[in-house]
Amino acid sequence: MKIGFIGLGIMGRPMALNLKAAGHELYVPDRRSLADEVRAAAHVLGDAAAVAEASDVIIVMVPDTPDVEAVLFGAHGVAEGLTKGKLVIDMSSISPIATKDYAARINKLGCDYVDAPVSGGEVGAKAASLTIMAGGTEAAFARALPLFELMGKNITHVGNEAGAGQVCKVCNQIIVALNIQAVSEALTFAKKAGADPAKVRQALSGGFASSRILEVHAERMINRTFNPGFRIRLHQKDLNLALSSAKEMGMALPNTALAQQMFSVVTALGGAEQDHSAMVRAIEHLAGIETA
């Protein structure tokens, strides 16, 4: 299959290379930041329109809602290169409301659209073990599924309407943020009380408090390895989606709002580009102590 892939950053690059490794042809737009390994593996074309014209399936993996809109509908964007029957898959994490609009516009061109945000970070992208949550018609999802199986392990068709995958991803980001906050508070409490945070993590890992966040991110907190991973500024973007959507629905997300403020503290400390496990820096700042 001829696959266009737009958005070859920390997550997108290994995802695209996994598709190439499975035998698919890869088409990408030319960018100065394009890694040598991608240039060697793919057909490099002038812009997103050319990629869409050459491809059967176009996958988008960019940071935010305006980026997806620009890639799809901007000058020399994907929409300009589409012909009837192609499939567009947006694997970015963006607004569910905007997703419905983008899907409708792509559908009017005679093409299928699936929103399929992911969870699992750089590690999951490299290992092809991402969690993928998809929205779109049964037929569109069935077309996308063989490709999803080359990039992820836990693949769920959340709903038949576009945007369902994005709603699920917002839920994921709420849960992850609150778990990072809980682990940050626990380890900082342990340090302040005179216990070894590494030993506390070891003890808790065998009990009911065990979690993927405790396993992976607590180790990052203790070792101070805050290279991303998943950047704080991107998690803030996702929590903004949660809070703005909640406001539209007339509901409150009080703990989500607090987690957002903790990320804002780290941003103020210069950590916007650090991994989201660096939220611990905000708790430490308030406690006047470092976990490590």
Which residues are identified as catalytic?
169
Q: Give the distance between the most distant pair of CA atoms in the chain.
A: 65
The token pair at 240 is: 């903004």
CA-wise closest residue to 76 among 53, 49, 94: 49
Q: What share of the chain is helix, strand, coil (3-state, %, to 5)?
A: 55, 15, 30
Q: Which amino acid is at 274?
A: Q
Residue showing tokens 């976990």 = 291
How far CA 157 is from CA of 105, 107, 121, 135, 276, in Å, comes to 21, 19, 20, 6, 27
Give the C-alpha separation, 89 to 146, whole Å: 13
User: Which residues neighbour 257 within 8 Å (Cβ) at sequence distance 6 or greater?
Assistant: 243
The token pair at 289 is: 């102590």
The distance of Cα 130 from the centroid of its chain, to the nearest Å, equals 10
CB 163 within 8 A of CB 100: yes
Q: Helix or strand or coil: residue 205? A: coil
